[in-house]
Every structure is written in C-alpha cells, then in structure tokens.
Structure 1
C-alpha cells in the first residue's frame, strides 16, 4: 500500500475500512497493466460508479434544500457536477500526488489536462461508496467543501 494513503484519507475526511478499494481507485489502467494486474484492478469501473454516486448525493442535497422542479434539479446538478468542478475539487488537495500513474502518463504529466483528475475524483467516490455507502461519499464531498 502507498504510504501516502493516511495523508490522502485525512485530505478526504474519510478513512477506508478496505484500503484495497482506495488502492484500486488510485491506480490508472496503464499502471495496472505495467504492474501485471488485470484490467479490473484499475480505477475505471470505480470512476463510473463514483460519477453516479456523486449525482445521488448532489440530488439529495438539492431536494433536501427544498428544490422540487425537475428542470431546476437537472440544470443545477449539471452545473454542480461536471468535469471542471470535479477537477478543481481534485486539485484542491493535490489528488494527483496519490495516484499510481503509468510511466508514460507520469512523464507527460497527464493529470494537467482535461478530465483525468475529474475521473480520479470520481474513482475515489466510487471506492468510498463500496466501502461505506452513500454516507461515505457525502462525508468526502462535505469535507472537501463541495457544497460551499
């Protein structure tokens, strides 16, 4: 396990019971292949799950705050949960420092472009969901100041 995971958990405000989920969430597909893991060891599936769980937490927050209109809910969620916002959230605590990158990704500094860090943030939330349910994802988002 990465010795920085204690620090990462502090940054997230959540301690994983199953750190293998966190390790998987922090492993890019290229790195998994370089380390001879199967494709299922990488963050990809967890990012997909994380995307969905973030949506649920945001919708719960909006509805709990009194928002009722389907159109308003959809638009507000879309504005709150997008690649730019998730990337900025990941950058706020230097998430890239904890990710196991493939050699080529590391040389290129791939985390500096586009959606890569956003996907890493989604993977963390997907792993947290499997580890502690929707409450774990809510805890992380609240701790990181996602809701302001």
Structure 2
C-alpha cells in the first residue's frame, strides 16, 4: 500500500484537526474564482454557510459560560467582535490559510491571498469542513483553540464596525435589532457585487453595496448610521 503525503499537513497542524476526508479541506480552500475552468471544482461557499453557523453557536455558548452576569447587549457586542469578518481573517492569517488558498490566476495575481474577505470566508469554510468531517465536538474544539484570544482583537482605532455600532445604537433606543436582506447581485462569480438593505422599525431602510454579502451589509449599516447622524465610532470591517 502506497501512502500519499498529506497535502495540507501544516494547515491541519495549525487547525489542530487531522481530516479523514482530504477532499473537504481542499474544497474549503477553493475560491469561487475557480469556477468555469477546464477542471471542474467545487468551491467553498456551501462550507462557508455551515462554518458560519458553527462558529456562531460555539462563540455564543462560550460567552454565556464565560460571562454569566452579562446582559444581552454586552454579550452581543462581544459576540459581534468575535465572529465578524476581521476576526475570521485574523485567525486565517495567524494559521497561514492564505498560502494554501486555491485561486484563479487573476485572483491570485491581484493579491487574493491577502484579501480579508477571501481569508474570512475560507476560515469559515474550514470550520464547516471540520464539522462535516468529524462532527460538532471536533469543530467546537477547533474554534475554542483558535478563537481563545479573539475577544481582545479590535480594529486599530478600537472602534466598533458599522453593523455592531448600528445594533448598539438600536438597542440603546429600545428599537428592534437591524434586519439585513440581500436585494441584488451583479457581476461574474469570481468578482460579484452584492447589494444589501438594512431595516429597523421606525427608520427608513438603507442600502449598501460590496464585494461580499458581509461587505454590503456593513455598507448598508454605515449608510443608515450616517443618515441618522451616528457616524462617530463606526467603520467597515472589509
């Protein structure tokens, strides 16, 4: 029997998880820019969808246990900091995800291995891959290992991102939480442009566009904050 070398051995070591199904980790690292090539590849968007939910559940459970007397607003602020794109990209950079990404030549040449949105999406996809490979306990272990210091990770100016700032603003006024809806998508699969709308009861809706759903939601939140005159302390995480 010939044993093939493990292609992603270094990444597995950094994750703290050895994949039984190597194809899962390869799909998790494959960007949508690879669609349409001569060799068909699955990309990581479906795994990202799963990983986002896994990350959210693990972090919510962690915060409830870690801060038993914290109110919902404080928990929400900590949660948003830990699951936002910037935190995911920070973790991805820390474990060297960028060098393993499977990108089209054009995306790679345009600096795709360092783009925050691509790194964040790949990190979430890897969590989804771990979940499918070995179940929730394994995925939880990876999250707790990699996110143990993320509650302290803040933007350089120590300001909340636009979505977090909008949520805090709404909660402070007794308003319902913001609701985001994707209302449009244009452009090719490897370079899409999303348009999202944010609504809060009692306020007119606001829209924003970006290169990812997350970026579009941030832009929409920023637009509403500016319109309401609540711009201090809000910034995009993209």
TM-score by length of 2: 0.56
Native 8 Å contact 1:44 1:123 kept in 2 = yes
Gaps of 5+ in 1: none
> Greater strand share, 1 or 2?
2
Question: CA shift at 1:132, angstroms?
Answer: 1.6
Tell me, yes or no, if structure 1 residue 70 matches structure 2 residue 75. Answer: no
Question: CA shift at 1:71, angstroms?
Answer: 2.6
User: In the alignment, which residue of structure 2 is the partner of 1:55?
Assistant: 56
Closer/same/farther in 2, CA of residues 35 and 17 from structure 1, 3 Å limit: farther
Residues in 1 aligned to 2:36 and 2:140: alpha-carbon distance in whole angstroms: 31
Tell me, yes or no, if structure 1 residue 124 matches structure 2 residue 126. Answer: yes
Native 8 Å contact 2:31 2:118 kept in 1 = no
Question: CA shift at 1:3, angstroms?
Answer: 4.7
Q: Radius of gyration: which is bigger? A: 2
Residues in 2 aligned to 1:130 and 1:32: alpha-carbon distance in whole angstroms: 23
User: In the alignment, which residue of structure 1 is the partner of 2:47?
Assistant: 46
Tell me, yes or no, if structure 1 residue 30 matches structure 2 residue 33. Answer: yes
CA RMSD of aligned residues (A): 2.0
Native 8 Å contact 2:30 2:102 kept in 1 = yes
Q: In the comparison of the two structures, how many residue pairs are matched?
A: 145
Residues in 1 aligned to 2:87 and 2:23: alpha-carbon distance in whole angstroms: 27
Question: CA shift at 1:142, angstroms?
Answer: 2.9
Tell me, yes or no, if structure 1 residue 19 matches structure 2 residue 22. Answer: yes
> Greater helix share, 1 or 2?
1
Question: CA shift at 1:128, angstroms?
Answer: 0.9
Residues in 2 aligned to 1:134 and 1:35: alpha-carbon distance in whole angstroms: 35
For CA contacts below 8 A with separation 6 or more, give which structure has more relative contact order. Answer: 1
Residues in 1 aligned to 2:123 and 2:5: alpha-carbon distance in whole angstroms: 17
Gaps of 5+ in 2: 150-238
TM-score by length of 1: 0.87
Residues in 2 aligned to 1:109 and 1:4: alpha-carbon distance in whole angstroms: 23
Question: CA shift at 1:124, angstroms?
Answer: 0.3
After superposition, where does 1:77-88 map in structure 2 within 5 Å?
Answer: 77-88=79-90
User: In the alignment, which residue of structure 2 is the partner of 1:147?
Assistant: 148
Closer/same/farther in 2, CA of residues 71 and 13 from structure 1, 3 Å limit: same
Structure 1 runs, 4 residues or longer, greater than 6 Å off: none
Residues in 1 aligned to 2:24 and 2:34: alpha-carbon distance in whole angstroms: 16
Question: CA shift at 1:32, angstroms?
Answer: 4.3
Residues in 1 aligned to 2:55 and 2:46: alpha-carbon distance in whole angstroms: 14
